[in-house]
Amino acid sequence: MSRTLFLLLLTLFTALPVLSAEPTAAVCAIRHQDQLLLVQDRISSRYSLSGGYIDGDERPEQAALRELYEETGLRGEVVADLGRWQKAQVFACRTLEPIVAQQDSDFVSLLQAPNLGGEILNARLIAVDKLPRAQRRFPDQLDWLQARLGELPESEVHWQADFVAQGNALHQAEIPLMMRLQQWLGPDVWWLSVSNLFGSGGFQLALIPLLLPLLGWPRLRQLLFAMLWLGLLVQASKEGIGWPRPFHLQPELATHSAQGFGMPSGHTASALLFWGALLGWLWPARRGLAYSLALLLALTTGLARVWLGAHFISDVVAGLLMGAILLAARPCWRTDGLVAGWLLLIAAALALGGLTQSAHLTGIGLVALGLWLGGNAALVRAGYPPLLTGGVVLAGCLLIGAGLWLLPLLTSSSLIILLGQFVLFFGLGLWLSVGLWWILSLLKQDSRPRGGRPARGTL
């Protein structure tokens, strides 16, 4: 009996700090009829109430209203405190101006949101019972709130056919052209779906097991160096310009999800630079033909992005220009052998990532940091059998890719997902620059073929 009483008291004592702790997050629950205003987090791709962490000098209700404005552009007021759900304080809120939403789709305009293109993909008015649990970031929280819908005040909604009138003159002129293009091409165009892959960073990384034995480490390192600089310039331009994507203005154009701002098109720029460099190395005597083919691939990639509704035509043109400039600057890629070149890339990416709160920029900086740190290790990076090299590279990249895919499935915490992604990005750089070479050296040891093909030269 005394042992049982002791365990009960110990359990109660342990739980007291949790029960009495101040909330660390605050959310706004906003209702229109039987629908709640929910935002889709871009890290987990799931829906939840608008909210976030409480800053040190804020009251919970201030944090809830601040997060509402930052994520949706809506000003609101707190009507009632609904109580605690785990570590979050939930407030019944009402918007001070009508919610602008699209008829039929129930998408909510985010064009006035300060963090447009940031952590939130979109916002919608959704009835909780019509949202599958797999698409909920905090399933039990919405079930808990469903029983309290009657305590939420009604917020007014202004329904529109689209949000085109809120865009600039250039985008208003482009949207009718894009809609006609989508109708003319139709919904299922396999060659455009394939063309979209040419500018995909994931697809290009998947080719590394083939490219490393083909090009050798010096050239692959140069290519990675150039692509990271391109990613930095593209993402910094997106954050600085801050132009929306087509589906932000006309949700009916959205046949493919995309994150962040639109200008310039990173897929188009990446396709031109990646394939221009690769084909130029493979056909050094016919670089004019190589660059022409790379331009054709980039143009089809740009057409695919417009067809998918992910980019405006002007975004594609800007992406082509940026990719062409970096491709013309090939001699500068030789700075991949200089410490200053890597440190400048790392410092610029991490600094801009911190200033803009961009996970993309931070990820670029961490991959570059891993490549640079690992590249300082004294290991032999040539002469291994191509099949063995490709297999080891593939195994490591599959593990990292699986980790990135599993993270959102294992936790609903955006912070944990983000930190996990950063660790994996840094690990990718280390794997390519030192990890795989260390494993290859262990596999071959002193039996590595002496007559193996050396790494091809740099530019």
Burial of 350 (0-12, 13-18, 19+ CB in 10 A): middle
Q: What six digits make up the tokens of 340?
A: 């200053």
Specify the length of the chain in residues: 459
Q: For residue 29, give Cα distances in angstroms to 93, 149, 314.
A: 6, 9, 38
Question: What pLDDT was estimated at residue 454?
Answer: 45
HSE-CB at 95 with a 13 A cutoff on CA atoms is: 20
Which of 246, 229, 241, 262 lies closest to 307, judged by CA? Answer: 246
DSSP 218-260: HHHHHHHHHHHHHHHHHHHHHHHH-PPPHHHH-GGG-SS---S
Which of 234, 205, 245, 251 lies closest to 371, judged by CA? Answer: 205
Question: What pLDDT was estimated at residue 1?
Answer: 44
Q: Say if residues 108 and 72 touch (Cβ distance below 8 Å).
A: yes
Which pLDDT tens digits describe the chain residue by residue (459 residues)?
444 444 444 444 344 344 446 788 888 889 888 888 998 877 677 888 888 888 778 888 888 899 899 888 889 888 888 888 888 889 889 998 998 888 777 888 877 777 666 677 778 888 888 888 888 888 888 888 888 888 888 899 988 877 887 778 899 899 889 989 888 988 888 898 898 999 988 898 888 888 888 888 899 999 999 999 999 999 999 888 878 888 778 777 767 666 677 889 999 999 999 999 999 888 888 888 999 999 999 999 999 999 988 899 999 999 999 999 999 988 888 887 788 889 999 999 999 988 877 788 899 999 999 999 998 888 888 888 888 888 888 888 889 989 888 887 777 676 788 888 899 999 999 999 998 889 888 887 644 444 444 444 443
Q: Say if residues 367 and 232 touch (Cβ distance below 8 Å).
A: no
What is the b/e burial string over 425-445, where b = at least 16 CB atoms within 10 angstroms of the residue's CB? Answer: bbbbbbbbbbbbbebbeeebe
Which of 264, 216, 237, 258 lies closest to 381, judged by CA? Answer: 216
pTM of this structure: 0.75
Question: What torsion, rounded to 10 degrees, do the Cα atoms 445, 448, 450, 453 define?
Answer: -130
Q: Say if residues 127 and 34 touch (Cβ distance below 8 Å).
A: yes
Residue 348 to residue 419: CA distance in whole angstroms: 20
Peptide bond between residue 264 and the one before it cis (omega within 30 degrees of 0): yes
Q: Say if residues 341 and 403 touch (Cβ distance below 8 Å).
A: no
